[in-house]
């Protein structure tokens, strides 16, 4: 057999040798270089810090545990009927976007009260224009006064009598400074407000 026939396959194997040889081993980095410098810091909520990111109040329907009303600092009122999976804005057509509190009537869960004006004292707080009430679960709203109170922190409905409503307000009201209270007349559509002084004694 001619020598060239024997050497030809051997030359091919030698030429292909680098293809089958092991890849050069990558240089390993020190263990300290692999670990992130942030690995030791736990996750924590940092925002949003914009005004609309603050939730002012949450009210849960006493008869339907997955129906909630949420008042946002500068984002109106939102409602969920499925425990927070989806949300519907309820206050986009009203004249105040700043919300201080939301309350559901314990005797009639279709009646929802909203106090406008965020209950928070800082430079990014917007003021409101009084007390609102809805009789149909937030579909329609009526402003019931106390427009000059600016910031309403809390609304409480008397569980024995829904015609008696207490409102905690920060600023001046139509009736005077302090905490106004509502004593309803015989028609629910016509509230009258009386002023309760800071010291009832």
For residue 180, pLDDT over 80 is answered with no
Strands 131-134 and 76-80: unpaired
Calculate the alpha carbon distances from 107 to 62, 78, 104, 116, 153 in Å. Answer: 9, 21, 9, 22, 22
| Among candidate residues 186, 103, 180, 125, the one with its CA nearest the CA of residue 149 | 180
CATH for the 53-196 domain, from 3.40.50.2300, 3.20.20.20, 2.170.190.11, 2.130.10.10: 2.130.10.10
Q: Mean per-residue pLDDT for 110-126?
A: 82
Strands 179-184 and 76-80: unpaired
Q: What is the pLDDT of residues 158-173, one digit of tens each?
A: 888 888 888 888 765 4
In this predicted structure, what is the pLDDT of residue 168? 81
For residue 175, pLDDT over 50 is answered with no
For residue 19, pLDDT over 70 is answered with no
In this predicted structure, what is the pLDDT of residue 186? 36
* pLDDT-derived band at 61, boundaries 50, 70, 90: very high
* pLDDT-derived band at 184, boundaries 50, 70, 90: very low
In this predicted structure, what is the pLDDT of residue 113? 94
Show me where the domains of the chain are located: 53-196
More confident position, 132 or 29: 132
Q: Mean per-residue pLDDT for 11-21?
A: 51
In this predicted structure, what is the pLDDT of residue 90? 93
């Amino acid at each position: 057999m001619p020598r060239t026939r024997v050497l030809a396959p051997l030359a091919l194997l030698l030429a292909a040798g680098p293809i089958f040889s092991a890849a050069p081993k990558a240089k390993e980095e020190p263990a300290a270089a692999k670990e992130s410098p942030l690995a030791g810091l736990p996750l924590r909520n940092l925002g949003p810090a914009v005004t609309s990111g603050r939730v002012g109040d949450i009210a849960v329907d006493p008869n339907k545990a997955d129906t909630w009303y949420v008042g946002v600092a500068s984002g109106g009122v939102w409602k969920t009927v499925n425990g927070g999976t989806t949300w519907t804005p309820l206050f986009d057509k009203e004249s105040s976007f700043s919300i201080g509190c939301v309350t559901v009537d314990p005797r009639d869960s279709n009646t929802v009260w909203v106090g406008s004006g965020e209950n928070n004292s800082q430079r990014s707080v917007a003021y409101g224009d009084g007390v609102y009430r809805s009789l149909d679960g937030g579909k329609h709203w009526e402003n019931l006064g106390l427009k000059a109170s600016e910031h309403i922190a809390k609304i409480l409905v008397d569980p024995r009598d829904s015609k008696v409503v207490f409102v905690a307000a920060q600023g001046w009201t139509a009736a005077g400074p302090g905490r106004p209270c509502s004593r309803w007349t015989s028609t629910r559509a016509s509230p009258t407000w009386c002023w309760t002084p800071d010291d009832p004694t």
